[in-house]
Amino acid sequence: MEQTRKSTASDASADFLTGQLLIAMPAMEDPRFAQSVIYLCAHTPEGAMGLVLNRPLQRPKFDELLRQLDVAPVPPARRIRLCAGGPMDNARGFVLHTTDWTGEGSLRVNDALALTASLDVLKAIAEGNGPREGLLALGYAGWGPGQLDAEIQQNAWLSVPADETIVFDADHDTKWRRALGKLNIDPLLLSGAAGHA
């Protein structure tokens, strides 16, 4: 007997890009996102939220930030990179990290990565513990309902599965090209015009 499969909300969400990398197309006109690589922490019908991975911060340094937040020890036993995560709420910090460590306030993005906005993760890292890999983003990129989907249809973004190397390594200057390389795309051959059949 053949079973009829009913569509569910979880089937619909399978099409969303949570846990993927967004790669800005070469024609991106918004200077805040030109040649950016964004890790999508959430993408639902209500909107999307992500962290720009390739905009390193020169200030504050990790040790300075720990001092400002009164997190000990300083100097820390371990350090993580800091980046400008996006134009929204840039006084707020988010640690994107591997799921081998999670705290009470951690949001699991997928099996590999989680997002924590509490000081617990910074304390654990400063003490030499915490997740195996992590980065601290100040601010985030956000989209309202359907906004990111519309931008993708307008040929502003490409998406590709995330990998730890692109997410966490410090080679910011090549991150955009390497992300495009995962799609076997040469950025010099990309057009900003959307094609419609």
**What pLDDT is stored for residue 16 in this prediction?**
87
pLDDT at 11 over 50: no
Give the residue from 184, 159, 188 showing the smallest Cα distance to 36.
159
Summarize the confidence of residues 22-38 as an average pLDDT: 94
Per-residue pLDDT reduced to its tens digit, 125-164? 999 999 999 999 999 999 999 999 999 999 999 999 999 9
Per-residue pLDDT reduced to its tens digit, 97-133? 999 999 988 999 999 999 999 999 999 999 999 999 9
For residues 161 and 189, what is the distance between their CA atoms, to the nearest angstrom? Answer: 21
pLDDT band at 185 (very low <50, low <70, confident <90, very high): confident
pLDDT band at 186 (very low <50, low <70, confident <90, very high): confident
DSSP 189: G
Helix (H) / strand (E) element for 157: namely strand 157-161
**Quick check: pTM over 0.85?**
yes
For the chain, the average pLDDT equals 89
DSSP 56: B
Give yes or no for a contact between 81 and 136, defined as CB atoms under 8 angstroms apart. Answer: yes
Q: How many residues does the chain have?
A: 197
Give yes or no for a contact between 158 and 186, defined as CB atoms under 8 angstroms apart. Answer: no
pLDDT band at 9 (very low <50, low <70, confident <90, very high): very low
Q: Which CATH class is domain 17-186?
A: alpha beta
